[in-house]
Structure 1
Amino acid sequence: MSERTTSVPDTLIPPAPARAAHRDPNVLRWVAAYTVSMVGDMVFYLALSWAAVQNGTAAQAGIVTAVSAVPRALLMLGGGVVADRFGPRRVVIGSDAVRCGTVLAVAAVLFVTDPGLWLLALLAVVFGTVDAVFLPAVGALPARITTKDQLARVQGMRGLGIRFAAVVGAPLGGLGVAVGGSAAAFACAGLLIAVSVPLLVSVRVREPAPDETTARNDTTAWRDLRAGLSHVRRHRVLGPLMITIALGDLGFVGPLNVGLTLLADERGWGASGMGWVLGGFGTGAGVAALLLTVRGRVPYAGLVAAGAIIPGAAAIAALAYAPGLPVAVGTAVLVGLLTGLSGAMCGALLQTQTDTAYLGRVTAVAGIVSLGIAPLSMPLSAAAIGVWGTGPVFVVSAVVCALGGAVALCAPGLRRAELPK
């Protein structure tokens, strides 16, 4: 399939003087589209979870909500190839339109009938399949809408969008369920995603350089995939960066998801206490994203990433031994600040160190780590806490996370990596 057969042509940005990303209307339209889409995702997953619980047992609901991760993990590398072959803008617009249409169709069905769990499971599979294409394209798009020296700032703006979605999405989904049940919540999610589509259409992309446009029809998708993996493996920064991201996520996801729930129950903090701790983490992560948005460039990026991971890991271990809720909230703020800073630095380095022609595939590799491998730590963390308690498991998780920082310190290319000026 050739690029000429696509129905959404790229709108090219003519040469123009450099402009700071947070003052660039084109970048702001993309950030708005991304944020609205993420809010829609939050509402969607809440609606899916609620509908599954209403239509089946707790175990069945868990399967329905988790099933979307399977196609996402299995197909994301292929999604990265698609994004690089046909252009991230086209892929993002097309996949967002499919997500919107699918969710609105299910909302319409739920308004008139109750088909049961099979429809919800099918929706989860479709959503996860489209996400496998959508997520790599989202990661590849910023490099086409701004200059390399602004990609770190865009990463911070994206982080603020994620924090906003986390704060607004759940209450909005709950309101939709309270007003009109699962059907209304799904309709709300679909409409939010729909708002992002015209914003994405209005985003202009830069014309790719000659070395960014490979002869797509002269290579197979398999060769493109192998070339992307080889690009990561041979790169002096990207190779160790992927290991750092993997270890950081493996050590972070378990304690800050299922582990925190069990810790709050063990300490008698209750759901409200857990909410305060999560709020503290979100505040710290939001401050880190805001710092990168305002500064745009942090010197010694590789060293800062490694330097933030290790004390952040220590804060994760300390969280399990907090003597009371106020100390736990303060520790969570520190965890959010340090892990948010290291995550933003890793994301910015991934964006700036990757050749633009490979960004979809490289983003897919990072997505496989974060969305496919790291979630495996959640059931393992829960089982381990049941045997050894929260303290030892949080400490082991912190050690795994700190190993990511050690890899970054021991890899000269990553340790000395800088963001473009």
Structure 2
Amino acid sequence: MPAAEDVAAPGRGDGRERPAHRDPNVLRWLGAYTASAAGDSVYYLALTWAATRGGSAAEAGAVLAVSAVPRALLMLGGGVLADRLGPRRVVVTSDAARAVIVLGLAALLWASAPGLWLLAAVAVVFGALDAVFMPAVGALPPRIAAPGQLARIQGMRGLAGRGATVVGAPLGGVAMAAGGASGAFLLAGALFALALPLLLTLRIAPLPGPRTPAAVPEGPTAPGPGASDGDPGAVAAATAGGPGTPPGGSFLRDLADGLRYVRRHRVLAPLLVVIAVSDLGFVGPLGVGLALLADARDWGAAGLGWVLAGFAAGSGAASLLLAVRGRIPRAGLVMGLALVAGSAAIAPLALVPHLAVAVAVAAVVGVLTGVSGSLCGALMQTLTEPSHLGRVTSLATFVSLGLAPLSFPLTGAAVGLWGTTPVFAVSALVCAAGAVYGLCSPRLRRAELPT
């Protein structure tokens, strides 16, 4: 079998573009991603159960929290590895390591009761592997499909992630009932292992040379008609921030080059600001605020579940739209407007007295933020130099999973002081501020996805 980097992906180089949902290469990647995401769901369920059974509530919380530390600290370094070694190699290696570690934990739990220290150690290692795995898996789509299919792949990925969560939790519960935590970890490890043959058979396109950016007028001038007409070359030339330095120097130099590349990029820089600010306003109400709201409204745990289900259904509908449609014209503008509308829908969640109305509002928020999130991901993958995609993906993941959760304790404390209504209103304003910032950037507002 030829080296992965020497094999052309379908739809590249022959003038023909195969739709992503009919591309066996993309479907293999999607199957591997689904199996791995389901494994994640089962793993965290098993870890939660084992930790709560093995110690106090505080000790269990500490076990669950320790994996977030290496994931946040090492995420940017994981992007450097993806660019230096190639995303396919990094994904395969980290997924294999996760399978081995989780299967080993299942065997140890079956043979003995080693205590919380083992769970904490596995959580730390798993968090470090996540920091390597996540940027690499996000950098793969542009290497396995044509640029015009990236929006459709984002939609397919969103559907797969939702489906893996829906299926993974019940499967984990069944495995837990049949074999305890050991059985659930065994299932999680098997799902990670299931992804490996699919990943190993992926056909990866060669890494293209750096794009040469065309001369672009300074100031708030938008890209020319060629870019807005959807020509990928024109889009790249009009929006590039310079080719940067290909990975291969020192580790810290490559990391600094990735950050510098984003800072100088005329579209990615404002796009990353939109991600950071909007997630800061959105994650708190969704993660902590909804639970406190359900308690204040006497909806109970079941009511909270229904509200979260409404959000998930709306987000899934948005992913389905992208998967079916494949491309949305004026992607930058639609992304910003959808995020503004979704932000405006957050505040009413704290005002509606009836559970059914709250579920409907949550579904609307899910649709709008799902559209904006999918378009954001597609634009990021389309406009980033392939040699920098791992580092850019890691930076976007870092601000979403590393910085945004810092709003959890702030949201909880603010709700305790002032109640849910003002906190949800402020969160909506913060989220909307990110969207407005993006709309005020002419190049991001007029960014297009390739046809």
Same fold (TM over 0.5): yes
1:330 lines up with 2:325 in the alignment: no
Q: For 2:254 and 2:247, how far apart are their aligned partners in 1? A: 9
1:417 aligned partner: 447
- Name the aligned partner's letter for residue 203 of structure 2: R
Cα distance, 1:210 vs structure 2: 3.4
1:277 lines up with 2:276 in the alignment: no
Q: Which segment is superposed worse, 105-114 or 201-210?
A: 201-210
- Name the aligned partner's letter for residue 272 of structure 1: A
1:83 aligned partner: 82
1:221 aligned partner: 251
Cα distance, 1:42 vs structure 2: 0.7
Unaligned 5+ segments in structure 2 are 212-242
Cα distance, 1:85 vs structure 2: 0.6
Question: What is the DSSP-based 3-state SS (H/G/I as helix, E as strand, rest coil) of the residue aligned with 2:18?
Answer: coil
Please show how residues 179-198 of structure 1 align to structure 2 within 5 Å: 179-198=178-197
- Name the aligned partner's letter for residue 12 of structure 1: V
Q: Name the Cα RMSD after superposition.
A: 1.6
Q: Over residues 287-340 of structure 1, what are the superposed CA-to-partner deviations in whole Å (9 max), with x where a residue is unaligned?
A: 100111111110111111110111111111111111201100100100100011
1:395 aligned partner: 425
Q: Over residues 62-119 of structure 1, what are the superposed CA-to-partner deviations in whole Å (9 max), with x where a residue is unaligned?
A: 1111111111111111110100011000100000000000000001000011111100
Cα distance, 1:411 vs structure 2: 0.9
Q: For 1:322 and 1:233, how far apart are their aligned partners in 2? A: 41
1:13 lines up with 2:8 in the alignment: yes
2:319 aligned partner: 289
Contact 2:316 2:367 in 1 (8 A): yes
Unaligned 5+ segments in structure 1 are 1-6
Amino-acid identity (%): 61
1:42 aligned partner: 41
Cα distance, 1:274 vs structure 2: 1.0
Higher helix share: 1
Question: What is the DSSP-based 3-state SS (H/G/I as helix, E as strand, rest coil) of the residue aligned with 1:162?
Answer: helix
- Name the aligned partner's letter for residue 188 of structure 1: L
1:73 aligned partner: 72
Q: For 1:227 and 1:204, how far apart are their aligned partners in 2? A: 28
Cα distance, 1:13 vs structure 2: 2.5
Cα distance, 1:8 vs structure 2: 8.1
1:127 lines up with 2:157 in the alignment: no
- Name the aligned partner's letter for residue 377 of structure 2: G
Moved over 6 A (4+): 212-215
Q: For 2:350 and 2:173, how far apart are their aligned partners in 1? A: 30
Question: What is the DSSP-based 3-state SS (H/G/I as helix, E as strand, rest coil) of the residue aligned with 2:266?
Answer: coil
Contact 1:95 1:133 in 2 (8 A): yes
Question: What is the DSSP-based 3-state SS (H/G/I as helix, E as strand, rest coil) of the residue aligned with 1:203?
Answer: coil
Contact 2:314 2:367 in 1 (8 A): yes
Q: Over residues 178-235 of structure 1, what are the superposed CA-to-partner deviations in whole Å (9 max), with x where a residue is unaligned?
A: 2211111111111011100111111111112233997655x21111111111111011
Q: Over residues 122-159 of structure 1, what are the superposed CA-to-partner deviations in whole Å (9 max), with x where a residue is unaligned?
A: 01100010111111101111111011111111111111
1:240 aligned partner: 270
- Name the aligned partner's letter for residue 69 of structure 2: V
1:22 aligned partner: 21
Q: For 1:294 and 1:138, how far apart are their aligned partners in 2? A: 22
1:98 aligned partner: 97
2:435 aligned partner: 405
Q: For 1:215 and 1:355, how far apart are their aligned partners in 2? A: 10
Q: For 1:232 and 1:175, how far apart are their aligned partners in 2? A: 45
Give the structure-2-normalised TM-score.
Answer: 0.89
Cα separation, partners in 2 of 1:291 and 1:184, compared to 1, 3 Å: same
Cα distance, 1:10 vs structure 2: 4.5
Please show how residues 101-116 of structure 1 align to structure 2 within 5 Å: 101-116=100-115
Question: What is the DSSP-based 3-state SS (H/G/I as helix, E as strand, rest coil) of the residue aligned with 2:328?
Answer: coil
- Name the aligned partner's letter for residue 377 of structure 1: S
1:148 lines up with 2:178 in the alignment: no
1:3 aligned partner: none
Q: For 1:22 and 1:49, how far apart are their aligned partners in 2? A: 35
- Name the aligned partner's letter for residue 74 of structure 2: L
Q: How many residues align?
A: 414
Cα distance, 1:9 vs structure 2: 5.0
- Name the aligned partner's letter for residue 7 of structure 2: L
Q: For 2:137 and 2:37, how far apart are their aligned partners in 1? A: 11
Q: For 1:239 and 1:216, how far apart are their aligned partners in 2? A: 20
1:266 lines up with 2:296 in the alignment: yes
2:390 aligned partner: 360
Contact 1:319 1:332 in 2 (8 A): yes
Contact 2:138 2:393 in 1 (8 A): yes
Contact 1:37 1:193 in 2 (8 A): yes
Q: For 1:298 and 1:163, how far apart are their aligned partners in 2? A: 22
Cα separation, partners in 2 of 1:275 and 1:75, compared to 1, 3 Å: same
Contact 2:208 2:386 in 1 (8 A): no
Contact 1:10 1:90 in 2 (8 A): no
Q: For 1:361 and 1:160, how far apart are their aligned partners in 2? A: 25
Question: What is the DSSP-based 3-state SS (H/G/I as helix, E as strand, rest coil) of the residue aligned with 2:312?
Answer: helix
